[in-house]
């Protein structure tokens, strides 16, 4: 299983691996690549962790609404 470094764990909601590679579902308030993209999918652990390190705070409408609650 993919080991998430402690400093990034607050960004991660769920992690799993299947036949298509590694998946990370991000917590509300974080995005990868484009604002509103809350899922990371890569073929290798290394690529997945690189993407996770490059996540940013998200202010999309979905995150704003969910974080209000």
Q: Per-domain residue ranges for the chain? A: 6-68
Mean pLDDT of 17-44: 94
Q: How confident is the model at residue 65 (pLDDT cuts 50, 70, 90)?
A: very high
pLDDT higher than 80, residue 69: no
DSSP alpha helices (H): ranges in the chain?
A: 45-53, 61-68
With a CB cutoff of 8 Å and minimum separation 6, the contacts of 7 are: none
pTM of the model: 0.91
- The bridge status of strand 30-31 relative to strand 12-18 is unpaired
Rg (CA), the chain: 12
Whose structure tokens read 């607050």?
10
- Give the containing element (helix H, strand E) for 8: none
Whose structure tokens read 């704003």?
64
pLDDT for 39: 96
């Amino acid at each position: 299983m993919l080991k998430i470094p402690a400093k990034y764990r607050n960004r991660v909601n769920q992690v799993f691996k299947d036949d298509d590679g590694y998946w990370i579902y991000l917590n509300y308030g974080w995005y990868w690549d484009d604002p509103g993209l809350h899922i990371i999918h890569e073929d290798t652990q290394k690529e997945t962790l690189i993407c996770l390190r490059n996540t940013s705070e998200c202010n999309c409408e979905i995150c704003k609404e969910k974080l209000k609650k």
